[in-house]
Structure 1
Amino acid sequence: MLLALGLAIASATTTTLLSQYLGRQADDRLRIQAQAYGKALTDEYSANGGDLSAVNPGGWGSTDFALRLVIRSYQVDVPPQDETARDYGTPALPTLDADDIERTMLDVRSTDGRSTWRVAVLPVTLRTDGATVGYVMYAEPRGEIEKIVRQAGLLLLTSAVAILVIGAIVGTWAVQRSLRGLREIESTAGRIAAGDLSERVPPAPESTEVGRLGAALNSMLSQIETAFDDRTRSEERMRRFVADASHELRTPLAAIRGYGELYRMGALTEKDQVDDTMRRIEQSATRMGGLVEDLLALARLDADRADRHAPVDLAVVATDAAHDLRAIDPTREVRVGPLGDARGGEAGEGDLPDTVVLGDEARLRQVVANLVGNVARHTPEGSPAELAVGRVGDRVLLEVRDHGPGIAPEHAARVFERFYRIDPSRTREGNGTGGGAGLGMAIVAAIVEAHHGEVAISQTPGGGTTVRVALPPGDVPGPEAAEDHPAG
């Protein structure tokens, strides 16, 4: 619409200017011709002693103009030639007052009213006294100018129509080409809405708006897909967690219910039988209570509940854990020493590097207790074990090494998953620690992560398993520690 309006205005302006330009040129030519013919006839009038009767207009030959000369009582009319008269008629020249003549231009109609003639009017003066004695009219038809203007207008109209058609075709192609990316985005969005989050918008040059939109959508889709995958994995872990927890709780509950039914049915008649049944019920309840405590600990860690942050010396924690391991298995050789050298016997506090971290001492002791408990349960009695502490860069490290059968690589990557057990058929412990349920290492990983640390497992040189815990040192507090101990 705007293009059509612009072309219409341009065409109208062009034809108007062309008509004005051709009209000015014609007016100049008419004045020159009028002056020339007027001078020639005035000279003849003067030469003949004031007589124009000898002028013969028919002897002028072919003329495509009309001429009228009026000098005093004489009037000479020169009509247009037959061909011109046939095409444009004869101009109806007016009669003017010879005493009041000015240079002017007139438009007159033909006698038959078919066309317009342009007339130049000039006063006639005699050379002898300079007096105005009449006037001369020189007229030419405007048909040629109007024909040229009409042809120009038609050409402009044809050009405008052609431009509009070509513009419509090119514009439609350009719009369809520019919207191709949006249609692809729409198609991709439809497939994503159908559930396929792996779909992506086809790439386009980012110099275009559609390209930048596609890149932004692809980035957003990647984040959404990652979030959905994380949620799916989280839901899967939760389902597995609930199923495993239900299974672990079902075993001691079934035992307690079974012993209760035996007692109700009167099957326990001897005091020794009753005492043994009560002991087994107590063991099942203790194991169930330990499992519940472990589950609550994991729930609190998952909720990111703020724990106490105070200086904790991992060397002291490791030394206390070594004593506990010796108490559990007096035949086992347990060493504590600096990182990389834990074979030189138990070292004193002064022999160890700066191993102070900020954290919850009870939780960190639980980490070391779970690791040492695994050594006691899953390695042969009397096999050696080492605890090593040290600082490497911006981390304080604690390693617990054993020389047992070790853990296969396919299991090592999953030992920190909840309820994961290398041997699913392993008998559950009855001491209330919950270690046999597969939660011990999961609790270790959760506590270490809550302290902004890392935990990893590897093979001990010569056979066995090494668990390495890395925590930020006390002089480089983590984000939560900084909140608990603000500056000033």
Structure 2
Amino acid sequence: MTLHERLSAVPIRGRLVLIVVVVLGLGLTVAGATTGTLLRAYLLEQTDEQIATAARNVNIDTLEQLAANPDAGSVMPSDYFLSLGFPGATPVTIVAEWTLPRFGRPELPDTVSTLGEAYTVRSDEPGQRWRAVTYGVQDAPAGTTLTVALPLEGADETAYQVARTIVVSGVLIILLGAALSWFAVERALRPLRQIEQTAGAIAAGDLSQRVPATDPHTEVGRLSHSLNTMLAQIEQAFAAQAASESRMRRFVSDASHELRTPLATVRGYGELYRMGAIPEAELPAAMARIEGEARRMGGLVTDLLQLARLDEGRRLAREPVDLAVLAHDAVADLRALDPGRTATLVPLADGIPSPDAMVVLGDENALRQVLSNLTGNVVRHTPAGTSVEVAAGRQGGDVVVEVRDHGPGISPEHAERVFERFYRLDDSRARSSGGSGLGLAIVSALVAAHGGTARVLPTPGGGTTVRITLPAADTIPS
């Protein structure tokens, strides 16, 4: 497994903490190394200044006395190491007697390339170092030099203590930074874990789950809002799909049921005719019954095809249609269909029955079918002689047409469902009257295709009112 694959397998919080620790470690390392380098340079500079000061205080008379009596330097109360060199002679060493056992003797070079320049040498005592500067001695024979050296034990000890402090504090800072970053990352990623849990619940089938909302100004907050919006849309889509599938199953079941009865009738009469069981005198009636059932199946299939086209969202014609004319024609058709009924055209109680103000944009044939289905329902489902009013008028920016009957009426629990396909208040009565349960469903679909609404209301004094509301043509942008 490669390093990239190993890092990819580490959880994101682990990678974030690792990044923080690495960056913190690199920063502290650079800072520590810089501090140590600067400190060591400063300590060496201070040592060089001490050596230069001591060299300036040593005059030629002192050097001659020390050279004549080297043992006099053994009582020097300092750590300085002096080496007086003469041309062609052994250098004279001047040092306190307690300095050599502690710091050892510096391993000075025989010659130096540049006088007055500080340099560092080792000691014959393990672990010790010396800082030395070689000067030329004035007022002395040519080639006479003086080397002044100081032990670096103090500077090295200081640098070591500082380095150890930096390392210990750096480790503690890294550990503290790792702990704080882990806590901060855990706290910051807590909403992501909640999102993960929510996603798991949704994957298990619970689409009602939502991600807890957080501050919308944060990335996680915006992500939570987007996810909740998406989940709501998904839940609505699934609910709509489930409802659509349920309606489709019910639709297929009801259509099969509706077609089974006339098919059974036609098949039964066909078998009776084949077996010769229909008397000659009853044959015209049997054929008429077969023709009636076939006509009923044809009407049902026509209605189903029309609903299927409306479900596909096919665009209808968009031309000016005067609903006042259509309402007048509907009343005339109703009178012709059932002369025993009283059918009248009346204005809306709070409307303006002006033909010029009742123009809508739509398909004239489809709107005529809406009114035809409504008046046909009245004829089929109300007692003979029941009076009917068709009211038309304008309400604000809408054109309203109402078909009012004074029959037994519809209970509120049925009024909410009468526009469903194949829904009947009384199955047996509907079939005997020739209804398929699709008339009001077609009305609702056609009105919706025109941007309007269809509602069922109680008629004052008893009965049922179906109200059709469509946007007026003068309110629709061209």
When normalised by structure 2's length, the TM-score is: 0.86
In structure 1, what is the equivalent of residue 13 of structure 2?
A: none
Question: Does structure 2 retain, via aligned residues, the 8 Å contact 1:415–1:421?
Answer: yes
Cα drift, residue 18 of structure 1: 0.6
C-alpha displacement of 1:228 = 0.6
Partner in structure 2 of residue 377 of structure 1? 380
Residue number in structure 2 paired with 1:444? 443
- The residue that corresponds to 2:4 in the other structure is none
Indicate if the aligned counterparts of 2:123 and 2:130 stay in contact, CA closer than 8 A. yes
Q: Contact 2:430/2:436 (CA < 8 Å) preserved in 1? A: no
Matched, 1:285 2:312: no
Contact 1:387 1:401 in 2 (8 A): yes
Matched, 1:363 2:366: yes
Identity among equivalent positions (%) equals 49
2:120 aligned with 1:107: yes
Tell me how far apart the structure 1 counterparts of residues 334 and 448 of structure 2 sit (CA, whole Å). Answer: 25
Quote the residue 1:125 is aligned against. Answer: 138
Aligned positions of 1:17-416 closer than 5 A: 17-38=38-59, 41=62, 53=68, 57-58=72-73, 60-69=75-84, 77-82=93-98, 84-93=99-108, 102-112=115-125, 115-126=128-139, 134-271=144-281, 273-340=282-349, 352-416=355-419
Note the C-alpha offset of 1:225.
Answer: 0.8
The number of equivalent residue pairs is 456
Contact 1:125 1:133 in 2 (8 A): no
Task: Give the CA deviation at 1:401.
Answer: 1.3
Q: Aligned partners of 1:122, 1:230: CA distance in 2, in Å?
A: 100
Map of 1:485 onto structure 2: none
Cα 1:108–1:324 shift into 2, 3 Å: closer
Shift of 1:221: 1.1
159-168 or 407-416, which moves further after superposition? Answer: 159-168
**Alpha-carbon distance in 2 for matches of 1:288, 1:300:** 18
**1:82-117, CA deviations, whole angstroms, 9 ceiling, x for partnerless residues?**
1x32221123455669xx994332333334565221
Separation of aligned partners in 1, 2:389 and 2:460: 12
Change (3 A) 1:451 1:75: closer
What's 2:32 paired with?
Answer: 11
- C-alpha spacing 1:371/1:134, structure 2 compared with 1 (3 Å): same
Partner Cα distance (1:220, 1:341) in 2: 45
Code of the residue aligned with 2:471 in structure 1: it is P
Change (3 A) 1:195 1:351: closer
Q: Distance in 2 between matches of 1:37 and 1:14?
A: 35
SS at structure 2 position matched to 1:275: helix
Task: Supply the distance in 1 between the matched residues of 2:165 and 2:69 (Cα, whole angstroms).
Answer: 50
Q: Alpha-carbon deviation of 1:370?
A: 1.0
Q: Residue in 1 aligned with 2:423? A: 420
Deviating more after overlay: 296-305 vs 17-26: 296-305
Alpha-carbon separation, structure 2, partners of 1:195 and 1:95: 91
Structure 2 CA distance for aligned equivalents of residues 59 and 304 of structure 1: 116
Q: Any idea what SS the aligned residue of 2:133 has?
A: strand
Check conservation: 2:350, 2:395, Cα contact below 8 A. Answer: no
Q: CA 1:37–1:367 in structure 2 vs 1: closer, same or farther (change >3 Å)? A: same
Aligned residues of 1:397 and 1:468 also touching (Cα < 8 A): yes
Letter in 2 for 1:104: E
Which is richer in helix? 2
1:241-276 per-position Cα deviation (integer Å, ceiling 9, x unaligned): 1111111111111111112222222222241x1122
AA at the equivalent of 1:86: P
Could you say what secondary structure the match of 2:30 adopts?
helix
C-alpha distance in 2 between matches for 1:39 and 1:391 = 128
Distance 1:94 1:329, change over 3 A: closer
Q: 1:461 maps to what in 2?
A: 460
Q: 1:108 to 1:280 in 2, by over 3 A?
A: closer
Does structure 1 retain, via aligned residues, the 8 Å contact 2:71–2:94?
no
Deviations 1:170-199, CA, capped at 9 Å, x for gaps: 333333333333333233222222222122
> Could you state the TM-score of these two structures normalised by the residue count of structure 1?
0.85
Shift of 1:26: 0.9
Is the Cα contact below 8 Å between 2:342 and 2:386 reproduced in 1? yes
C-alpha change, 1:52 and 1:475, in structure 2 (3 Å) is closer
Secondary structure of 1:122's counterpart equals strand
Q: Is the 8 A contact 2:400 2:467 kept in 1?
A: yes
For residue 365 of structure 1, what is the amino acid of its counterpart?
R
CA distance in 2, matches of 1:36, 1:68: 15
Name stretches of at least 5 consecutive residues in structure 1 with no aligned partner.
483-488
- Asked if 2 retains the 8 angstrom alpha-carbon contact of 1:402 and 1:465, the reply is yes
Task: Please give the secondary structure, in 2, of the residue aligned with 1:198.
Answer: coil
Contact 1:203 1:214 in 2 (8 A): yes
Give the 3 Å change call, closer, same or farther, for CA 412–308 of structure 1 in structure 2.
same
Unmatched tracts of structure 2, length 5 or more: 1-21
Return the offset for 1:419. Answer: 0.5
CA contact (8 A) 1:184 1:202 kept: yes
The 1:158–1:420 alpha-carbon spacing in structure 2 relative to 1, beyond 3 Å, is same
